């Protein structure tokens, strides 16, 4: 909640990445994330896309060791927990799931709103939108929710 101690930061995505990830995570709900209002994109998808970009920028900033790529399979549970603390500071939870092909077949989640964005309605929940990536026969599913 905004009060006399509220800090306002203005800048682009790179500046926000540095602001957020250059220090230890702040307490939950202490960073208010404001997004541009894109009337062509449903609000849930807009929030998801911004959080996914922040997640991607954050893992690159924290774990890329100087290059521009991070192998998601190299992230440890501790790394994901740390990212979770950063997202809690903005009022969000992050969920990263890892599946073998057999496990994935038992955990298929439909519809995939990120791929089938035309199915998103105004009441589609943020937690129901996810992104999946496959690396070395392992499927990673990333989703977000409000605290």
Q: What is the pLDDT of residue 71?
A: 83
Residue 54 and residue 60: Cα distance in Å, rounded? 10
Q: If pLDDT is split at 50, 70 and 90, which confidence band does 49 have?
A: very high
Report whether pLDDT(137) > 70.
yes
Q: What order of strands is seen across the sheet that includes strand 138-146?
A: 92-100, 138-146, 130-135
* Cα 1 to the center of its chain, rounded Å: 22
3-state SS, residue 98: strand
Q: Tokens 């996810």 appear where?
A: 130
Question: Predicted confidence band at 6 (pLDDT cuts at 50, 70, 90)?
Answer: low
| Dist. CA 117–CA 106, nearest whole Å | 23
Q: What pLDDT, on the 0 to 100 scale, is given for residue 7?
A: 65
pLDDT over 60 (residue 1)? no
Please give the pLDDT value at position 130.
97
Q: What percent of the chain has pLDDT over 90?
A: 71
Report CA-CA distances (Å) from 73 to 20, 35, 66, 77, 93. 23, 30, 18, 11, 20
pLDDT tens track for 62-119? 998 777 788 888 899 999 999 999 999 999 999 999 999 999 999 999 999 999 999 9
């Amino acid at each position: 909640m905004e009060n006399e101690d509220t800090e306002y930061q203005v800048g682009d995505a790179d500046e926000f990445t540095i602001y957020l990830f250059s220090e230890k995570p702040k307490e939950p709900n202490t960073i208010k994330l404001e997004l541009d209002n894109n009337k062509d994109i449903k609000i849930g998808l807009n929030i998801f896309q911004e959080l996914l970009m922040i997640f991607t920028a954050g893992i690159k900033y924290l774990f890329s060791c100087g290059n521009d790529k991070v192998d998601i399979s190299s992230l440890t549970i501790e790394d994901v927990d740390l990212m979770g603390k950063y997202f809690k500071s903005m009022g969000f939870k992050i969920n990263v799931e890892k599946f073998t092909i057999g496990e994935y077949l038992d955990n298929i989640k439909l519809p995939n709103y990120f791929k089938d964005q035309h199915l998103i309605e105004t009441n589609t929940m943020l937690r129901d939108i996810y992104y999946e990536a496959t690396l070395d026969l392992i499927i990673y599913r990333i989703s977000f929710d409000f605290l």
